[in-house]
Structure 1
Amino acid sequence: MNFKKNNLNFSAPKTILGVGAELKNSLCLLHKNEAILSPNVGDLKTWETYEKFKEIAQELISIRKPDLIVHDLHPDYLSTRFALESNFPTIGVQHHKAHIASVACENDFRGKVIGIALDGTGFGEDNTVWGGEFFVGKVQNLERVARFKPIQLAGGDKAVEEIWRIGLAFLKEAEIDSSKFFKSVPESSKRFVNQMLDKNFNSIPTSSCGRLFDGVSAILGLCEKVTFEAEAAIKLEQIALPNENGFYTFDLEESGGLTELSFLQMFREIENDLSRKATSEISAKFHNTLALGIAKVVDRIVVATKIKTVALSGGCFQNKILFKKLTEILSKNYTVLTHSNVPTNDCGIALGQTFLMIND
């Protein structure tokens, strides 16, 4: 197997195996000052891929027997099952904290950080779906202090495929008449999903940034159903008008001890723009709004904590527009840590899982 070996500027007191997440799985064996990263295994959704995963895991274990296996908190991930069925001590860590640990490890950063993890999904410590999260503290002791305002996923995973459901949920929360949207969707289906949202039936709250992309894409008519991961976000990025400086309104709210970044007013303004502006301009303004909103949350956290180092990780940072705009804003006043050698998506999770176990 063609493993990638990375020399680190610290020595781990024990050997740790991180088994990664479910999508874009990879593994990492941390021994002394060396992190051995596996190639991308793929998505652990088929028996064939899981067999490949187990083969790679056993090869890493044969290189150096781990003292500890670290896995994701999600109880249904096959990587979690592998860890729990092994004969080694195990510990579960939160998905987005592992993202922040990954970028901190790559940058050899051991101090306090503001961590921003943006992706499609990750099992949260409150048993909801996270994906638009802000953390503070040293990597091994991160505290979540802010998030994207949650939205309901009507039908759970079904909404991740039929993303018009997500668009409908945002419209409902923003009190926008949804009758003129999603023309290809049968009226009976829309009524059913509306009832699910009204009764909070079979609906899961999520603070995911990826789902925000889905909602906007569905409302613009770019994509009502997806056939592959991040399809809606890719289409939004592709049509965005270059050199557009306009943006929409966003709000910072407080809920349950967390700052929440709300884009409901943005959706109202997008509805108004639909009859007057090209979708390319709306997409560009959406990207600008997202970057500005995130930066404003960071500014608030800096005031409260005096921490001026910001770490960015998660699959949403594969969006070149968001990444460029946000790093340009943040780097004016803060030190920004980003990925360069380790993927920002879930391929980097395993490295972060192992680094979370390293205490200063």
Structure 2
Amino acid sequence: GIVALKGLGGFQLLTDARDPAAVARLRARKHRPHKPLAVMFPDLAAVRAACRTGAAEQVLLQSPAAPIVLLDARPGALAADLAPDNPRLGAMLPSTPLHVLLLQELGFALVATSGNASGEPLCADNAQALSRLAGIADAFLLHDRAILQPVDDSVVQRVAGQPQTLRLARGLAPLALAREGPGTVLALGGHLKNALAVGGAGRIVVGPHLGDLDTTVAQERFMTATARLPALAGGQPMRLACDLHPDYASSRWAAADPRPRQAVQHHHAHLAAVLAEHAIAGEVLGVAFDGAGLGADGTLWGGEFLHGDSRQVRRVARWRPFPLPGGERAAREPRRSALGLLYAAYGRDLGGEALDLRDGEQRTLLQALDRGVNTPLTGSVGRLFDAVAALLGLCQVMSFEGQAAQALQAAAERAPRQTPYPLELVHDGDGWLIDWRPMLTALLAERAAGRPVARIAARFHATVAAAVVEVAQRLHAGRVVLCGGCFQNRRLLGDTRAVLEDAGIAVWWPVRLPPGDGALACGQAAVVMARPGKTVQGPLAGVDGAN
């Protein structure tokens, strides 16, 4: 059966991790067909039996925070469907006395996933859980100790020789970083993977992961946190910071508040977060790769090279844009990103490539591309990963964010480091433009020749890394900061770090802060604290240096 257990920060859904039928039942009830499920083990010996663990991973597992640690799984040790098409497993040890007693009594590993329906925030009180989880759980294990602040489990991995936080939550948040700046600012983060931050009194305090702000329940929790985190940090913010995108729930909340606010460009915030984490002074070359963020020019960015510091940046290089047929729907269907990529490279005949689209659907999308209807341009590296995953047959439609990129990473990690595909760098007056078309042609030729998918995926990762070092060398940059959600990909981060260090270039990346949007609020606070005179109202406030 499936048990809803009231844990330290909220409810968890538990079932036997050895039983494929139990795992399938949990996935069906939670409407979570593919996203990996975390597993709680009775002890370290049980973890070692199911996963490959080194000394460093064992230290993370046994740390006071007791986070979920991503480990390479041993095939056949547990139910196969815990992490479909993914060689890694999220492992954790018991984090409360209740968990210890339960796992000791059972003696086997349990799925321990968040107690919520898909897309909703974590359940935290008994009445809420009994109502919202009634269709998922067969039984409830409750207690009468109230949870004041709901908080998810933290998630970490080992990459490039260091731990890296992927979700800043239980045991790791709030996180305080030293940062000087006048006044106090409440930074509101983005729309996905939301977290808040308060800057002032010589520091930035980053709050725990709140999650996506798509639902009313999530937005209510966000509003509660806007009062709770400043009280915890010990200040009453006089200014607000938010994302440049006016339609994010966090940005709409800022617009309705009477306090002065400053909108911070998405990728500048990513860069400023890493600068704050590592206390880096002076100008750097920031490499911000993610799925999408509104650019200073009103287009979708996501493959950005920004030169500057927390106060201001200048866009100095970017990836060649391609259209996304269907707009936001392309972010959920990698096959649409592939269609846009092929259309931009070869025109209507798509270079003779066949895609996993019905004839009528493909015809409609091609007509939209011809007319420029709902086909926004993007230079997003995240969407480039999606397109390549679709072209290699790894993922056509996603059931969770990052699924295609995860599959591409998993394929690449089955092969050793490779030489990159060719790219072309051209200077077009607005900076360097990375033209991916030579890479695409070579990649498709290898696929047609029957080369292993793992080798092609590894070459693609190597190509993205090579683009970073090539741009850095063209700009004579001696210090590079990697940021954005794409750099939670350990293969990409490892390859990029290696080629930069081989070129004698110093490199930093997120370690204690998440690479993705969970760090946006920290970066927003850092930018506003560096711009004390720019507390102006309006949707484009504070972005004059980001063009």
> How far apart are the structure 1 equivalents of 2:376 and 2:448?
32
For the pair 1:313 / 2:483, whether they are aligned, the reply is yes
Counterpart residue type for residue 237 of structure 1? Q
Alpha-carbon distance, 1:7 to partner: 4.2
- 1:275 matched to 2:448? The reply is yes
Deviation at 1:223, TM superposition (A): 1.1
> Unpaired runs of 5+ in structure 1?
none
Label 1:179 to 1:83 Cα distance change in 2 as closer, same or farther (>3 A). Answer: same
**What SS is found at the alignment partner of 1:30?**
strand
Q: Which whole-Å CA distance do the structure 2 matches of 1:229 and 1:181 have between them?
A: 25
Which moved further from structure 2: 197-206 or 239-248? 239-248
TM-score (norm 1): 0.94
CA distance change for structure 1 residues 247 and 7 in 2, over 3 Å: closer, same or farther? Answer: closer
- Contact 2:197-2:206 within 8 A present in 1 as well: yes
Instruction: Determine helix, strand or coil for the equivalent of 1:174.
Output: helix
Q: What residue is the counterpart of 2:509 in the other structure?
A: 338
Considering fraction of residues, name the structure with more helix.
Answer: 1
Question: Does 345-354 or 275-284 show the bigger shift?
Answer: 275-284
- 85-94 or 19-28: bigger deviation: 85-94
Alpha-carbon RMSD across the aligned residues, in angstroms, is 1.6
What is the CA deviation profile of residues 167-221 of structure 1, one whole-angstrom value per residue up to 9, with x for unaligned ones?
Answer: 01111222274554224x2111111111211221211011101000011011111
What's the counterpart of residue 299 of structure 1? 473
Matched residue, 1:243? 416
Measured after TM superposition, the shift of residue 246 of structure 1 is 2.9
- Give 2:494's aligned amino acid: K
Match of 2:459 in 1: 285
CA-CA distance at 1:159 after TM superposition: 1.2
**Is 2:399 the partner of 1:227?**
yes
Question: 2:259 maps to which residue?
Answer: 88
Aligned-partner Cα distance in 2 for 1:60–1:86: 17
Q: Is the CA contact (8 Å cut-off) linking 2:339 and 2:350 kept in structure 1?
A: no
Regions of 4+ moved over 4 Å: none
Matches within 5 A, 1:1-360: 1=149, 3-8=173-178, 10-62=179-231, 63-175=234-346, 177=350, 179-183=352-356, 185-240=357-412, 241-276=414-449, 277-302=451-476, 307-332=477-502, 333-359=504-530
Alpha-carbon deviation of 1:19?
0.4
Q: Give the residue type in structure 2 aligned to 1:74.
A: H
Q: Contact (CA 8 Å) 2:185, 2:529: kept in 1 or not?
A: no
Maintained 8 Å contact 1:5/1:34: no
Deviation at 1:256, TM superposition (A): 4.6
Secondary structure class of the residue paired with 1:97: helix
Q: How far, CA to CA, are the matches of 2:222 and 2:366 in structure 1?
A: 40
- Look at both structures and tell me which one has the larger radius of gyration over its CA atoms: 2
Residues 15 and 67 in structure 1, CA contact (< 8 A), matched pair in contact too: yes
- Determine the structure 1 residue equivalent to 2:133: none
C-alpha displacement of 1:321: 0.7
CA distance in 2, matches of 1:359, 1:346: 20
Verify the 8 A CA contact 1:164 1:215 in the aligned structure 2: yes
CA contact (8 A) 1:250 1:265 kept: yes
Q: What residue identity is the alignment partner of 2:419?
A: G
Q: Give SS of 2:287's match.
A: strand
Q: CA deviation at 1:243?
A: 1.3
Amino acid across the alignment from 2:186: L
Work out the CA distance in 2 between the residues paired with 1:244 and 1:117.
23
Task: For 1:232 and 1:271, locate their aligned partners in 2 and report how far apart those are by CA, in whole Å.
Answer: 18
TM-score normalised over the length of structure 2: 0.63
Separation in 2, partners of 1:23, 1:113: 27
Structure with the greater relative contact order (CA < 8 A, sep ≥ 6): 1 or 2? 1
Match for residue 537 of structure 2? none
SS at match of 1:121: strand
Read off the aligned partner of 1:216 and give its amino acid letter: V
Instruction: Check conservation: 2:292, 2:301, Cα contact below 8 A.
Output: yes
C-alpha contact (below 8 Å) 1:148/1:207 kept by paired residues: yes
Q: Which amino acid aligns with 2:296?
A: E
The residue type paired with residue 19 of structure 1 is L
Q: Distance in 2 between matches of 1:36 and 1:61?
A: 9
**Quick one: distance in 1 between partners of 2:473 and 2:214?**
40
Q: CA–CA distance in 2 between the matches of 1:43 and 1:83?
A: 17
Secondary structure of 2:418 counterpart: coil
- Once residues 211 and 34 of structure 1 are traced to their aligned partners in structure 2, the CA distance between those partners, rounded to angstroms, is 35
- Please state how far the C-alpha of 1:135 moved relative to its aligned partner: 0.7
Secondary structure at the counterpart of residue 342 of structure 1: coil
Alignment: residue pair count: 354
**CA distance in structure 1 between the aligned counterparts of 2:212 and 2:343, rounded to whole angstroms:** 33
State the one-letter code of the partner of 1:192.
T
CA shift at 1:58, angstroms? 1.2
Larger displacement relative to structure 2 (336-345 or 99-108) = 336-345
Runs of at least 5 residues in structure 2 that lack an aligned partner in the other structure: 1-148, 150-169, 532-547
**Residue identity in the other structure for 1:126:** D
**Aligned 8 A contact 1:182 1:224 in 2:** no
Deviates most, 257-266 or 115-124: 257-266
CA distance in 1, matches of 2:389, 2:180: 46
Secondary structure of the structure 1 residue equivalent to 2:303: strand
1:6 deviates by 1.4
